[in-house]
Amino acid sequence: MISLKLKSTLVKGCMAVVLASSLGACATPPGEDSANVTYTEVSDPIEPLNRYFFDVNNAIDAVALKPISHIYRDALPQGVQDSVSNFLHNLSQPIYFLNNIAQGDLDGAGDNMGSFFTNTFLGIGGLFDVAKLNTEKEDLGQTMAVWGIPEGPYLVLPILGPNTTREAIGIVGEYFIDPANLVARNQDVDYFSIYRGAANAIDFRSKSIESLDEIEKNSIDFYATVRSLYRQNRKNMILDGEAEMTPLPDISFEMEDDQPKESNVSLLFEEDDSTSKEATSTAN
């Protein structure tokens, strides 16, 4: 029994390493800014494959995830759904804490710790958000971004959906270091991360049924829209939503001169060097 379990863990580990290293091989396209501040044009060399998995995921979504989420949303009282969200979020606080430490965001880490203990003890195991600190998701992908690792090509994973190479590696890494997973493994809870992943997916999907329908209906290329939204959202999460640092697309050059500066979209504003310097220095 024990050996069987060990074996399965080993197999999983090996698969993860193989996956991570094969991804790592193509993770550094030239010319990307290492500070990860500017929004660069999308790198999507395996677009046909990505589009294929995007369609596969949408098909899975249509027959499984979306109907389940619909039932979940309509059948359960709002209070229960909120508690599920709170519980899942609380379960992730330890890994957010570790990531915030690794990113040097000690205030954020303090909030994570405060939230976790308050909600676990006063909020009955995390079912209620007593702390109300509004902690943001912090994952390994964001940590690697803060460390200056470029995002790499865009990647749509089966089941897991939109990612960049960096985030995909982050997901694999996080599986091994997430304290919640470690505890579950020590307590011999089988398939913990699968259940947790499924719960997270339903929680997410039930909140975005209309929004996603709306975006799909209104876009002429749903794949590209989702890719753009995903990447902009990631960028925003990496910068922890600091509005002052948000890289805005440089619209100015389009009208005035023919040559776009280094990248088409950057922090630079035409005619105003002080803005760009200021913004870059705050961002760094």
Residue 188 DSSP SS3:
coil
Binder to another protein among 25, 77, 210, 281 (CB under 8 A)? 210
Residue in 28, 120, 236, 280 binding another protein, rule: CB under 8 A: 236
Query: Nearer to another protein by C-beta: 190 or 273?
Result: 273
In whole angstroms, how close is the CB of 12 to another protein at the nearest point? Answer: 26
CA 241 to CA 272: how far, in whole Å?
A: 24
C-alpha span between 64 and 84 (Å, rounded): 20
Q: How many residues bind another protein (CB under 8 A)?
A: 47
Taken as a whole, the chain contains a residue count of 284
d(CA 207, CA 69): 8
Q: Does 200 bind another protein (CB under 8 A)?
A: no
Which of residues 120, 193, 252, 263 is near another protein by CB under 8 A? 252
Among 17, 272, 277, 282, binds another protein (CB under 8 A): 272
Residue of the chain from 8, 9, 21, 233 that contacts another protein (CB under 8 A):
233
259 touching another protein, by CB under 8 A: no
Q: What are the start-end ranges of the H helices in the chain? A: 2-24, 47-60, 66-75, 78-102, 106-121, 140-146, 165-177, 179-186, 192-207, 209-218, 222-238, 252-256, 273-283
Kindly tell me which residue out of 39, 53, 54, 97 binds another protein, with binding defined by CB under 8 A: 39
Residues with Cβ within 8 Å of 125's Cβ and at least 6 positions away in sequence, in order, are 87, 90
Query: Largest Cα–Cα distance of the chain, in whole Å?
Result: 71
In whole angstroms, what is the distance from residue 244 CA to residue 281 CA?
11
CB of 52 to another protein, least distance (A): 14
Q: Which residues bind another protein (CB under 8 A)?
A: 39, 42, 134, 136-137, 204, 207-208, 210-212, 214-215, 217-221, 223-225, 227-229, 232-233, 235-237, 241, 243, 246, 248-249, 251-252, 254-255, 258, 260, 264-265, 269-272, 275
